[in-house]
Amino acid sequence: MAVSAQLENVWPLFRFSGEIDTVPVAVGEDVIDVPIEATSTDWAAWAMPWPHLLVLGLIIAWLVLKRWRKIRQEKATQARIDAALAEAQAAGTAAEESDDGVNDLFPEDESTTGDSAAEDEPTDVQRAPRRARRAPAHAQRAAADD
């Protein structure tokens, strides 16, 4: 004999269980010679909350995608920064090698040619590194325009 029942107000939270109590009764005016005993049994069923799991999966996928995009964007930004730095360093190295008329702006004076009387004591210009002796960029541009 198969009997089915529909449970009301039960949330599908993966696995739920319960107990079934049966009480046999005589149908109609039947006479039963044996004693009728009530029985009970435990039962369990799976009820997957598919709509809830789908929504949860979509939320997790959205968060993962958002984080992945942020990491990818940060890497792209860092790559652009690195490329700009490499380009600037290459341009700076090329400018140092070509001199671009820096000697015209700062002609050698007696202290740098060795014609001065105090050859043993280096001057401030001699002590300064080559970059420090260069003219500022606006002075280089002004000299190039002339």
84-106 confidence digits (pLDDT tens) = 999 998 888 777 766 555 555 55
Tens-digit pLDDT profile for residues 114-144: 555 555 555 555 555 555 555 566 666 666 6
CB distance 143 to 101 below 8 Å: yes
- pTM value is 0.43
How buried is 12 (Cβ within 10 angstroms: 0-12 exposed, 13-18 middle, 19+ buried)?
Answer: middle
DSSP assignment, residue 136?
A: P
Residues 26-73 pLDDT 10s? 888 888 888 888 999 998 988 889 999 999 999 999 999 999 999 999
Which pLDDT value is given to residue 104?
53
